[in-house]
Amino acid sequence: MPAALLLALLVLPAGGYDLGGPCGADASKAPSLAEISAAEEDADWSRALSLQKAHLRALCSSESRWSKLADLLLKAGRKADALEALEEMDRRGFEVKASEFAAYPALRKFLGSEAFQGSAAGRSVEAKRRASHARKRGFRERLKKLPASSLPPPEHVSTGACPFECCAYREWTALADTELFERPGGGALSVKAAAGTKVAALTGEVRVKPIPLGVAADRPPFAKGDLFFLLDPLGEGFYHYWKDGLVAEVLVEPDDHCLNPGPACWAEFVYPGSALRRSAWWVQLRLPDGTLGWTDRPEDFDGKDACD
């Protein structure tokens, strides 16, 4: 996030919403999460809300703290105040949508209510959603017109890839009897890696179908309106991507809709459901007797994560 934007969010007053004091309070004096949780468990909503507001004042740029406040207000039966908190979140450019509230089921449900949809925040969110739909229609139309030379191969194979942070090819232990293959996608061998067997994971490859993304806001090296293709994950939010015949790395968290295009949300899936795409991770193993084989079930083995 650019420093100027972060500073603005840190000092931005809470609009018409009363947090009980100005933003920028001394963080060292803010209530702890344990204190807030204890008040919530006791259903002491007055105390829980007072503590959460103080916690929020120490970092008014925190979307998660605003979300927690709105959730507590709903649990306390204060829907009108929850609406005001959501309106403030929308004013600050936060993404007020169900996908952002996975930890708050009550808040997710509230977004579908007539009370929210008829509110100023609800109308604002709906207008932004319509703008996102229009933007994505434009991306789809452009994608249809691209020549084959501007499209990646239908399947991308990342040789040697280990697709998450701390992923390591080393000694693994089979957790279940696992069938081995001659090659990725090839014929089955007559041997298995038996549960409990220690094997040598030698290398691997990740196979994915490239997923088109549209750029909703400038984010170098991309410009608003660009199209590029998401490839295999590298861990910690980094991916390989394909654009103009080149493969490179990018830190990106694509979404179905960017309601407030900017640093926090700048890439949208061109087609619905793209986030559910499947990839295949094939790993070459060497058994204790020297037999080599491949598996697409790395989840059947322990030892993959060097950070454990």
243 in a domain, yes or no?
Answer: no
Same domain, 78 and 171: no
Least Cα distance to 212 among 236, 252, 242 occurs for: 242
In a domain, 216, yes or no: no
pTM metric for this prediction: 0.79
Residue 274 is assigned to a structural domain of this protein: no
Using alpha carbons only, give the angle 235, 240, 246 rounded to the nearest 5 degrees.
165
Domain that holds residue 184: 156-206+280-302
Report the DSSP pairing between strands 178-181 and 188-193. Answer: antiparallel
The reply to whether 173 and 290 lie within a common domain is yes
> How far is it, in rounded angstroms, from Cα 115 to Cα 286?
60
Question: Is residue 194 domain-shared with residue 284, that is, in the same domain?
Answer: yes
Residue 67 sits in a domain of what CATH number? 1.25.40
- Residue 255 CA to residue 306 CA, distance in Å, equals 29
Q: How far is CA 301 from the centre of its chain?
A: 26
pLDDT in tens, the chain (308 residues): 444 444 444 444 445 688 998 988 788 889 999 999 999 999 999 999 999 999 999 999 999 999 999 999 999 999 999 999 999 999 999 999 998 999 999 999 999 999 999 999 999 999 999 999 999 999 999 999 999 989 999 999 999 999 998 999 999 999 999 999 999 988 888 889 999 999 999 999 999 999 999 999 999 999 999 999 999 988 889 999 999 999 999 999 999 999 999 998 999 999 987 766 778 999 999 999 999 999 999 999 999 999 98
Q: Cβ distance 250 to 267 under 8 Å?
A: no
User: Torsions phi, psi of 16, nearest 5?
Assistant: -90, 0
**Do 205 and 282 contact (CB within 8 A), yes or no?**
yes
My answer on whether 108 and 15 are in the same domain is yes
Are 67 and 82 in contact, with CB atoms under 8 Å apart?
no
Instruction: Clarify whether residues 163 and 291 are in a common domain.
Output: yes
